[in-house]
Amino acid sequence: MQGRDPGRHGVRPRRGGFSLVELMIAITVLLVAVLGTFVAQLASHSLLRQSRETNLATADLAAAMEQMLVLPADQIPLAGRFPPGQPIAAFDGLHLANERIVPTYPGFTGPTPPDPLPIVLTLTFDDSKGRQRVLRLASMKTR
pTM, entire model: 0.74
What pLDDT does residue 16 have? 74
Mean pLDDT for the chain overall: 88
98-122 residue pLDDT tens:
999 999 999 888 778 888 899 999 9
DSSP H helical segments within the chain, as ranges?
20-69
For position 3, what pLDDT does the model report? Answer: 55
Look at residue 79 in the predicted model and tell me its pLDDT.
Answer: 64
| 134 and 122 Cβ atoms separated by less than 8 Å | yes
In this predicted structure, the answer to whether residue 82 has a pLDDT above a threshold of 70 is: yes
Please state, in angstroms and rounded to a whole number, the distance separating the CA atoms of residues 137 and 61.
7
Q: How far apart are CA 2 and CA 20, in angstroms?
A: 38
For the segment 4-45, what is each residue's pLDDT rounded down to a tens digit?
555 556 666 667 777 999 999 999 999 999 999 999 999 999
Sign of the C-alpha dihedral computed for residues 124, 125, 129 and 131 taken in this order: positive
Strand partners, 102: 122
Backbone angles phi, psi at 39, to 5 degrees: -65, -40
